[in-house]
Amino acid sequence: MDRIDRKLLNLMQRDASRTNVDIAEEVGLSPSSCLRRVQRLHKSGIIDRIVAILNPTKAERRIKALITVELKLHGEQHMRRFLKIAVAEEAVSQAYAVTGETDVVLMLRLRDMEEFDALCERLFRDQTNVARFFTMMIIRTAKEETAIWL
């Protein structure tokens, strides 16, 4: 993991569609040597995978919202159960267990408010162990690195 590896990783996180020849030239290596480095980064697991990032404005889930959730019961198994339910939802793009007054934070990608309504109904009805939740609609995205599922 030297200077060239870092250059490769930063470069490929920006654009992994470039040809090996092109990338090799930018980092100052021969194509074969460059390719072997990329293969090594794959095998070692530093590069987890190569994915397509979709344009959110052209996708179908344009509304983003953050929800902080406070659970009634805080045991490990209760936390696990709630996260499992949340993660299974298509509209949930990120889900975290956190410290502080809040127990769980969810990032949502929504088609419309009907979907939001239905999601709340499923996640926050009485039997689901949720004490309170606070919704923050996202007005502006200043920075992000997120995939969108259709």
Of these, 11, 31, 65, 93, which contacts DNA (CB under 7 A)?
31
Tell me if 86 sits within 8 A of 150, measured CB to CB: no
Residue 13: φ, ψ to 5°: -75, -25
Helix axes 31-43, 3-14, angle to 10 degrees: 80
* Minimum CB distance to DNA, residue 33 (Å): 3
Q: Least CB distance from residue 140 to its own copies, whole Å? A: 4
Q: Which stretch binds DNA (CB under 7 A): 35-43, 72-80, 109-117, 134-142?
A: 35-43
Distance of closest approach, residue 23 Cβ to its own copies, in angstroms: 11
User: What would the two tokens of residue 125 be?
Assistant: 């009805």
- 9 binds its own copies, rule: CB under 8 A: yes
Tell whether residue 77 is a contact of DNA (CB under 7 A). no
Q: At what angle do helices 113-124 and 76-87 cross, to 10 degrees?
A: 150
Instruction: For CA atoms 82, 149, 7, 21, give the dihedral sign.
Output: positive
35 binds DNA (CB under 7 A): yes
Contacts of 102 (CB under 8 A, 6+ apart): 68, 69, 70
Using the contact rule CB under 7 A, the part of the chain among 18-26, 51-59, 76-84, 91-99 near DNA is 18-26
111 three-state secondary structure:
coil
Binding site residues, DNA, CB under 7 A: 4, 19-22, 28-37, 39-40
Binding site for its own copies (CB under 8 A): 6, 9-10, 12-17, 44-55, 58-59, 64, 66, 79, 83-84, 86-87, 92-100, 102, 105, 134-150
